[in-house]
Each structure stands twice: as C-alpha cells, then as structure tokens.
Structure 1
C-alpha cells in the first residue's frame, strides 16, 4: 500500500504524542507543557522523516510509488514540522512533577542558540519550498541546509532538560528516526554524487521550438537502463546549468543507449537551458526514477498530456517492445503556436503505432475534448476506461470533472506529479 501524505504525518504525530505522554505523570498529560513537549518531538520526527524522503533512496521511491510522490510528501512533512515547531516554541515544555535531565550537557547559551537557529532554519526552508519566485539555483543551495538544520535541532533535543530518557520508548523512537534522518542527510549532501546511479552523456542533436528544446544525448560510457515513462535528473557541464533538474525521458529504451528530453522554458533554469543548449555539451544523468508505466491489462487506455507533460507518452509511443496500441487514445493539450513536439509529428507517431490521436488547443473545457471522451465512453463501459495523465494541476482538475460527468470512476486515473517544487 502506497503511503498517503496525511496518513504518514498523522501517524508520526500520533506516535510521538503517545510516547511522550507515557513519560509524563498522568495528571500533567493534558497541559500546555505536555502539548509543547509533544509538539517538539513531533517536529523533530517529521524533520527526520523528510530527510529520509529527500535522499532519493530506491526503497523509499518504491514504497511511495514514485519519487514524485515521495517529494510531495517530503514538502508536507517540512510544512507540518514548522507548524509543530511553532507550537513547541510558543509554550514552555515543563510541568509539575516532571523528572528532567539533559541527555547531553551543553552551555545554556549554546543550547538556546541551537533551539533558535534550528527554528529559523526550518522556517526559511519551508518558505523557500513554497515560494516559486525564488530562482532554482538559490532554492537548491538553500535546500541543502536541511541536513545541517536537522543536526542543529538534534543537538537542541539532546541538550535540554527533558523527562524523555534516551532508553525510554520516546527516546528510542527519536534516536531511531534521527539516526536514519541524519544518515540520509549525509548521504544526500556528500555521498549521492558518488554512489547514485548516474552516467555521462553528450548532446548530439538539438531541436528548438517555441520556448522549448528537444535534446538527443548519447552515452559516453555505460548507458543508463530505464523504462519508457521514467524521468532523470539532468546536469549539464556548463556554468549556470550544473544544478541537477528533473525531466521526463521522452524516448523509449534503445540499444545504442541514446536518450531524449523535451524541455520547455518554464523557469529561470529551464530558460537558460533552452537558450544555451547546443551539440557537444556534456551532461550527467542521474536515473532512472518514477513509476509511471503502462497498465498491462487495460481494455481502453486514454493518455492525456498537457504541454511538456506529453513526454512520457512520446516515450511510450516510441518504445520498441510495446504493443496493444489499438486500445490507446492520446490527447495532446497545447496552446496555439506552442505545440512542441508539433501536432503533425505526434500524429505521425500515433498513426504508425495504430493509436488514436486528439490534439486539443482549448484546454480542459474545450468541447472537442468532451465530445471525444463521450464517444469513448459510448464505445466502452466507463469502468473499463483507464486514464494516464501528466500535465498542470488545473488541467488535471478539469479532466477529473469530465470523468465525473462521463461516469468514469474517480479511481481510474493515475498521474505523474507535474511539478516537484
């Protein structure tokens, strides 16, 4: 079962508060002091869990059904960690009859600095994660402070006088989570470039479109093995383009190891990449990631790609080992004059594999989309229709509305999260 963000946060908070209350006298468990202490333990637990999810470990991606979902949960863990840290800061974690001792003795001034700097660092990290106007390069380097911030908060937890002993259930809970979180932070900060799955490539072809670019890269050594529909973190060996950035692979797996991307200028980093990409550039690819794959037993497949969200479906179309395209209907949502890949090219690829193709230029409310979807529902029982989606949130909501109107079960859509930040 794939963990849900809300369920994971609730579970971590519930366990933290429960274990904290076991350490307190019964008559002080419903006080503001107990609430403050529980909030502090919960905030630290959430920060440690966020560090684990941010390490890009394969077992974490598998557990969450894709790195995109792990990153979404990672963001919400950080937000709620700030909420509980704020509650912890507002009230004094103290009560009558508490037996308190510090796990690790620090100078009171140093302990106070650790508490305050940890809270400020967490607040800045969450604000950075939520502010989409911050340049990606700035956001990425600030985000690297998540590991050191976790270490500072751990020092704070060890240095304060608390009723939680290291050998108590709450102490063991914190030690296990923080130990795993710190290990994940060290791995991501120092070891990831050395131990992760990556390979060197060279750009051999560049095709520019309206505010977009199509890149074709060949491996300089052992290529990365991937499945159609997965994504990679691309880092070009050029100043200003070295930050690894996630892009969906827009090609199927090939024997020569070549790999393709379709990238649109949507932010400061992608604008630089689109304008500066040229043949001969070298790149490092960290891959593969993602669990966005075709359903093997679907009777009617509807693929919906919005803008560059068409990339995984291009990969599925060009996957040499794939079949059963006669049951596929591909919808391509694009703004007039901004179709890249262009409509004619996609129509040719779809026709070559025997898939139906529907270019939609009016967004999710376009009558052409509704009419085509109604025709598919008329020809197939709604329960047998499976929808795969990749595109902006607004389009996803419009598609869900159309599904409801057409009688397609809400659970018959699966999607790749279009944006990490």
Structure 2
C-alpha cells in the first residue's frame, strides 16, 4: 500500500493539532489564537516535509509509489503550507492565558523581522514552484533557494514566544520534522550531484521529428541499470543545456546498454534541446526513478500513450524479459503533424511481435478509441482489462470516463504523472 496525497497531508495536520493542543489551557482550544498556532505549526511541518521530499531519496519512492507521486505530494504540501501560514499570520497566535517563552531568544526587532521574512520566503517558494511562465533555467535556480529560505522559517519557530517548549511533544515533533527537512534540503543542494546514482553517456544518434527528437546514448564506462518504464534526469554537458530535466526512458536494457529518450519541444529548455542537440555530445544521466512497470497476471493489457507519453510503452515493447505481447493493445494518441519520431517503425515492430497497435490521430475524444475500447471490453470482459496510461491529464480524464462507461473497475487503471512542474 502506498501513501497518497490527501491522507498524508491530513495526517500531518492531525498529528500537529494533537501535539500542540495539550500545550495550551483547555479553555483556549476553540479560540482563534489556538487555530493560529496549530496552523503555524502545521505549515512548518508541511514545509519541512516538502524539503524532505525534494531530496529524491530512493526510500521516498517506495513510500509514495514513485517519484512522480512524490512530486505531486511535494506540490500540495507547498500549497497548503502557504494557506495555513496565511491563517497563522492573520490571527494572533497568543493569549494572556498562555505561558510563553522563546526557545532561542532574539532581540524584539530581529524576531519580528524573521517572522515577516519567513512568510515572504514561503510565498516565494510556492509561487516560484507553481509559476509555469518562468523559463526553466531561471525557475530551477530560484527553486534552489527553497532550502535556505526554509532556515528562516525554522528560525521563526525558535525565536517566537510560544507555549511550545522544546522538550514537549509539540517541540519534539517540530524538531524532528525540521531536522528531516533541513537534512533533505542540505543533501539536495550540496551532496546530490556527487553521491546520487548517475553516469556519463555519449550521444550517438539523433532522430529528428516535428518539434521533437529521439536520442540514443551509450555509456562512457559504467552505465546505469534501469527497468523498462522508468525515467531519468538528463543533463547534457553543453552550454545552455546543462540543467537536469526529467524524461522517460524509451528503451529497455542493462547498465551497459544504450539508453533512449524522446523529447518534444514544449517549453524554452526543450525547444533549445531539440534545436541544438547533436551526436557526440556528452551527458550525465541521473537514474533510475519511477515505479511504472508492466502489470503481472492474466487478462488483456491496454496501453494508452499521449504524445511523448508513449515513451514508457516503447520500452515495454522492447523489454526482453516480457514477450507476451499478444494480449496487449496500444493506443497511440498523437497530434496530427506532430508524430512521434520513428513511430512507423515502432508500430511495425509492435505488430510483428503480436501487439494490437491503434493509431488515434483525431484528438482525445476520438471515436476510434471509444469504439475499439468498447469492442475490446466486450470481447475479454471488463474485469479482465488492465489499463496503463501515460499522457496529459485531460486525456487521463477521458480514459477514466471510458472505463466507467464500460464497467472497467477504477482499480484496473495504472498511470504515471505526466508533469512535474
């Protein structure tokens, strides 16, 4: 069982309230000061967990079911931390009935300045994380400030006069969460480039498409072992292309085998990559990440790829350990005129191996998909169909609706989050 976003955030809020309220006189529990204090504590805890999740530690993937899920939780932690910090700022977290003291006393002016700066820091972190109009290169460097800015929030907790003693349950809870958050932020900012799993590769083949490109890289020395369907952070060692960017691995093989990526020009960075990438370039590949693997067991598999979301299914088709493709139907959703590089060869190879390849080139609400999916469910039975999806969220909603119309249980859907930022 994997931890999902809503239960995790709710759990943090419940635990925070449960450890804070015993530090207050019971008569003040229902007042606005108590709400402000609980909100402030929960906001700090959520910021700490966001910093921890940003570390990309492997064990977090096991807890949440993949790095794509980790980043979804990371995003909502930031959003709700901002909401709760706003409540904390608006309502005074103090009452004459409280016995208060600062854990780390600072001059009054410094305490007030830290309080204000910590809120501004949180606003900056969340707005920078969610603003898609900021060019990727600038966004990445601004986002690196999240860790140092979190230090301000911790300093606000330590210097603010409150009824929470460091040795109390609430103080220990805050110390634990803040410690984990600071450790995660320090690791990501200072140690990640040196100790994380990565290897150097050389680009040997570039296959251009319309506003897209397919890359093949071979390891220079030791490679990285990965499984079909996982993704990597690719960092080309070329001026202007050095920012690590996540791409699904469109190949299957061991540590000594080539690795392939398909990149579509969807933003400033990917447009530049498509325009400038050339054979012979060196790159660093940070991998593997993700838990998007083929389902085991019987029944018929439906694979739905939208745009570059076809990438993991290409790797599945090539996987030498799984050749049972006769029970697979691949729906390839592509925008007319923006076909996947080399898609004709991929489709021919898939059909040769026994998979049923269905081109869907007339939009997400295509009758081709609806009619073929309905026919397939009628042939094999709704409880015998497993749907694996990778693509835009709008297409995912359409696939879910089709499953519901034809009685395919929602539990039979497996999907990978398509966007990180």
- The interval holding the TM-score normalised by the smaller chain is over 0.9
Aligned-partner Cα distance in 2 for 1:14–1:180: 19
SS of residue paired to 2:326: helix
- Structure 1 residue aligned with 2:279: 279
Contact 1:235 1:244 in 2 (8 A): yes
Equivalent position SS for 1:358: strand
Preserved CA contact (<8 Å) 2:224 2:256 = no
- Once the two structures are superposed, the pairs formed by residues 177-196 of structure 1 within 5 Å of their partners are 177-196=177-196
Deviations 1:99-131 (A, max 9, x none): 111101112222222111111111112112222
- TM-superposed CA distance for 1:337, in Å, is 1.5
Secondary structure of the structure 2 residue equivalent to 1:102: coil
2:282 aligned with 1:299, yes or no?
Answer: no
Shift, 1:54, TM fit:
0.7
> Deviation of residue 352 (structure 1)?
2.6
Q: 1:405: which partner in 2?
A: 405
TM-score normalised to structure 1 length:
0.98
Deviation string 1:56-105 (CA, Å, 9 cap, x unpaired) is 00000111100000000000000000001000000111012211111011
- Cα distance change on mapping 1:391 and 1:175 into 2, 3 Å: same
User: 1:154: which partner in 2?
Assistant: 154
Q: Which residue of 1 aligns with 2:102?
A: 102
Query: Retained in 2: the 8 A contact 1:230–1:249?
Result: yes
Structure 1 segments, 4+ long, off by >3 Å, are none
Aligned to 2:58: 58
Q: Deviations over 1:260-285 (max 9, x none)?
A: 00000001110011101001111111
Q: Deviations over 1:202-255 (max 9, x none)?
A: 101111100000101010111000000000000011121111100000001157
Aligned to 1:241, the other structure's residue is in SS state: coil
Match of 1:369 in 2: 369
Aligned length: 421
> For the Cα contact (< 8 Å) 1:298–1:386, is it kept in 2?
no
Q: Distance in 1 between matches of 2:318 and 2:408?
A: 28
Q: Which moved more, 1:122-131 or 1:206-215?
A: 122-131
**8 A Cα contact 2:229 2:293, kept in partner:** yes
Distance across 1 between alignment mates of 2:401 and 2:306:
16
- 1:134-145 matches, within 5 Å, as 134-145=134-145
In structure 1, runs of 5+ residues without a counterpart are none
The offset of 1:18, in angstroms, is: 1.7
Superposed displacement of residue 363, structure 1: 2.1
The answer for the alignment partner of 1:209 in structure 2 is 209
- Normalising to structure 2: TM-score of the pair? 0.98
2:260 is aligned to 260
How many angstroms apart in 2 are the aligned matches of 1:415 and 1:298? Answer: 19
Residues 344-353 or 245-254, more deviating: 344-353
3-state SS of paired residue (1:119): helix
Once superposed, what is the RMSD of the aligned Cα atoms?
1.0
Range moving further from structure 2, 258-267 or 348-357: 348-357
Partner of 1:227: 227
Q: What is the alpha-carbon distance in structure 1 between the residues aligned to residue 255 and residue 64 of structure 2? A: 30
Question: Contact conserved, 2:225 with 2:255, CA < 8 A, in 1?
Answer: no
8 Å contact kept, 1:28–1:96: no
1:409 is displaced (CA, Å) by: 1.1
State the match for 1:46 in structure 2: 46
Which ranges of structure 2 fall in alignment gaps of 5 or more residues?
Answer: none
Counterpart of 1:199?
Answer: 199
- Residue 382 of structure 1 corresponds to which residue in structure 2? 382
